[in-house]
Amino acid sequence: MRQINLALIGFGNVARDFAALLLEKKAAIAARYQVEFVCTTIATARHGIVNCLTGIDLAAALATVAAGQSLATMAQMVALPDTAAAIAASQAAVMIETTPLSLNNGEPTVSYISQALRQGCHVVTANKGPMAFQSRELRALAQARHCQFRYESAVMDGTPVFNLVEHTLPLATVKEIAGIVNSTTNFILTAMEQGQDYQAALAEAQRRGIAEADPSLDIDGWDAAVKLCVLANGLLDANLQPAMVSRQGIGELTPAMVMAARANQQKIRLIARLTNNQGQVTAQVRPEYIPADSIFYNIDAFSNLLLIETDLMGKLAIVEQDPALRQTAYGLFSDLLTIIAATKTN
Amino acid sequence: MRQINLALIGFGNVARDFAALLLEKKAAIAARYQVEFVCTTIATARHGIVNCLTGIDLAAALATVAAGQSLATMAQMVALPDTAAAIAASQAAVMIETTPLSLNNGEPTVSYISQALRQGCHVVTANKGPMAFQSRELRALAQARHCQFRYESAVMDGTPVFNLVEHTLPLATVKEIAGIVNSTTNFILTAMEQGQDYQAALAEAQRRGIAEADPSLDIDGWDAAVKLCVLANGLLDANLQPAMVSRQGIGELTPAMVMAARANQQKIRLIARLTNNQGQVTAQVRPEYIPADSIFYNIDAFSNLLLIETDLMGKLAIVEQDPALRQTAYGLFSDLLTIIAATKTN
């Protein structure tokens, strides 16, 4: 049985569900991979920054946080002054990174990931900022340190997108991508088609924890633009930055426009598009009229779709229906297991 | 550069497009995998059974067959009496199997695959028969001989289905599958919705090479039932046989029924369903009324869809839009590259 140390940087809803998944699947992980995961560090803004090199009891940590208490109150915990110190002291083989980040520059996440990679630690992140803003630097660093840097959850939660292309479409080149990748705007547009008003729909999306804290990032198409950058940089080794994406949000759409489209057997959806023209990658986000026979037509509410056109496999679409928190946690989990499988002989 | 010998058993449209793909991607294969493929055997009912251990010129073989000549007329070819003799003499590391087979028992394909695996040869097949009828035996044999046996193209051409679950959904258990997996019936139903008659639609499907030689296998739901067995046996290690699938085809559907559904904002689609209830696998094929808001509603003509529900990732759908011959050839190609990647250190 290999023992693999993990550092959980960020311990919000996603990371906690990931921790629950590790507990639920402990026996299956041992049976399939001959691995036991040991969490040595948890760093969270609200519940303390701690490590315990002999292993943190994750069930107890979940209970402690659920009770609103600090992780530092648990037995054998060593409290650390900040996240950088926690990463440095973690002795982790894999860092699971889920901190809140700025969607303007990807910080502080980029710094945490750089630090971990420099320490020779594999990194799994649910954040889109690092690949959108610093993909070249982070991937070069990972390669130099022989570490994996994985980010499946950054787009469409745990739905295989990066793993799909990497592991199931060998030697195929992505030519075009078109997708519905922002759940908040999709939920609002679906609700408006059903006659609800914009503010009520937005409030409902926020209540369900889908909308970003600042909804303007969703509404203005910025979130979708950032995701296009992750796709371009991850799938095509491009160096696309969010500011380079041509962008139009849904803010100027009126209920009358949505209903008029409906009367015309159309729906309006916020479509993110990426085109690879011999290595020249361009991207745009804008509302489009979707005809009734399109595969995009029935992507409602929180469902997402990515239509990927490659040179060798034509058009493939992958759809995530009605995702929940578990799907994002599963993206982290599958990335972690991919690292474990790839490093089996090391 | 590793030299990998290939035996092409069957050399119809799919195998020839696969051969063309090997030629097109020769440089990319060498760069990515440090491998050169050498075809030592081609066995075909119509154009001869030959081998050449120093390597068959695939471009010349394609030209020879296109000219309607026997492969035995090419220089340095050794003609063999039958396919079994060709497999035995091939010195192949991987067999690419695309022979016509009986959809009643999977022969003669099952025998060819058994022979190759007993010789320690990896096998890639585009046929669904082997996994539908003899999955337990063939997989046990492959395991005993430390060989890979891959069959991505058996369902939805090269669309990642088996590779999707194996490589991108680790430790997830498939609970349910629902799909549109038979292109002939889907094309006929779509054409009938547009007012065309059944016979004209069937003739068009046959002209495009999509319909099976005996269309009753499609129409009666047998092809879809066989594919459900490949899914059940491949994804769930079940031992489901086609005769065990509850089956109803589209033969009793009338244009009036199709148009009545249409008037009711519904479509009729032949849906294949698989349910895994704690390891108890049941399957059925039958026409279903699809409501307008379903993701199945816009799967028209030759497009296929598979909706996969797992315990950890919820509902994922994968869609193949308007496939061509190249997609089936690519399924063989991706399986071959998966074997090459997995045996890199051997």
Question: What ipTM was predicted for this assembly?
Answer: 0.95
Q: Choose among A87, A82, A73: nearest CA to A121.
A: A87
- CA dist B61 and A255 (Å) reads 62
CB contacts of B169 in chain A (<8 Å) are 160, 334
Instruction: Give the per-residue pLDDT at A346.
Output: 45
Q: Which residues of chain A have pLDDT under 70?
A: 212-213, 345-346
Instruction: Give the per-residue pLDDT at A345.
Output: 61
| Alpha helices, DSSP H, located in A25-148 | 26-33, 58-66, 83-89, 109-118, 129-133, 135-144
Closest approach of chain B CAs to the CA of A76, in angstroms?
32
User: Of A169, A292, A321, which is closest to B315 when you measure between CB atoms?
Assistant: A321
CB contacts of A28 in chain B (<8 Å) are 171
Q: Choose among A124, A84, A131: nearest CA to A103.
A: A131
Closest approach of chain A CAs to the CA of B315, in angstroms?
5
Q: Which two tokens stand for residue A8?
A: 């959980």
Closest residue in chain B to residue A190, using alpha carbons only: B293
Instruction: Give the per-residue pLDDT at B324.
Output: 87
Q: Choose among B242, B275, B258: nearest CA to B196.
A: B258
CB contact under 8 A, A293 and B294: no
- CA dist B318 and A238 (Å) reads 26
Q: Quick check: A326 contacting B, CB < 8 Å?
A: yes
- Cα angle A334, A338, A339 (rounded to 5 degrees) comes to 120
CB contact under 8 A, B298 and A300: no
Residues ≥6 apart with Cβ < 8 Å to A264: none
R_g over Cα of chain A: 21
| Alpha helices, DSSP H, located in chain A | 13-24, 26-33, 58-66, 83-89, 109-118, 129-133, 135-144, 162-168, 183-193, 198-207, 216-219, 222-236, 255-263, 325-342
Closest approach of chain B CAs to the CA of A296, in angstroms?
9
CB A102 within 8 A of CB A126: no
Under DSSP, the state recorded for A196 is -
CB B9 within 8 A of CB B100: no
CB contact under 8 A, A316 and B313: no
Q: Quick check: A27 contacting B, CB < 8 Å?
A: no
User: b/e per residue, B17-56, with b = 16+ CB within 10 A?
Assistant: bbbbbbeebeeebeeebebebbbbbbbbeebbbbbbeeeb
Q: Quick check: B162 contacting A, CB < 8 Å?
A: no
- CA dist B264 and B290 (Å) reads 10
CB contacts of B316 in chain A (<8 Å) are 159-160, 318-321
CB contact under 8 A, B171 and A338: no
User: Of A21, A307, A324, which is closest to B314 when you measure between CB atoms?
Assistant: A324
Q: Which two tokens stand for residue A152?
A: 């499946």
- CA dist B342 and B330 (Å) reads 18
**For the segment B151-194, what is each residue's pLDDT rounded down to a tens digit?**
999 999 999 999 999 999 999 999 999 999 999 999 999 999 99
CB contact under 8 A, A327 and B337: no
CB contacts of B172 in chain A (<8 Å) are 330
Q: Which residues of chain B have pLDDT under 70?
A: 212-213, 345-346
- CA dist B51 and B56 (Å) reads 7
User: Of A292, A316, A334, which is closest to B169 when you measure between CB atoms?
Assistant: A334
Q: Choose among A292, A132, A296: nearest CA to A223.
A: A132
Closest residue in chain B to residue A345, using alpha carbons only: B345
Instruction: Give the per-residue pLDDT at B221.
Output: 96
User: Of A28, A316, A326, which is closest to B159 when you measure between CB atoms?
Assistant: A316
CB contact under 8 A, B163 and A168: yes
Q: Choose among B96, B99, B6, B12: nearest CA to B56.
A: B6
- CA dist A154 and A170 (Å) reads 22
Q: Quick check: A84 contacting B, CB < 8 Å?
A: no
Dihedrals phi, psi of A296, to nearest 5 degrees? -75, -15
CB contact under 8 A, A171 and B323: no
| Residue indicated by tokens 């490589």 | B167
- CA dist A45 and B206 (Å) reads 64
CB contacts of A307 in chain B (<8 Å) are 321
Closest approach of chain A CAs to the CA of B68, in angstroms?
27
CB contact under 8 A, A160 and B169: yes
- CA dist A297 and A299 (Å) reads 6
pTM: 0.95
- CA dist A172 and B21 (Å) reads 11
Q: Quick check: A194 contacting B, CB < 8 Å?
A: no
**For the segment A141-173, what is each residue's pLDDT rounded down to a tens digit?**
999 999 999 999 999 999 999 999 999 999 999
CB contact under 8 A, A320 and B315: yes
Q: Quick check: A297 contacting B, CB < 8 Å?
A: yes
- Cα angle A296, A302, A304 (rounded to 5 degrees) comes to 40
Q: Quick check: A20 contacting B, CB < 8 Å?
A: no
Instruction: Give the per-residue pLDDT at B345.
Output: 61
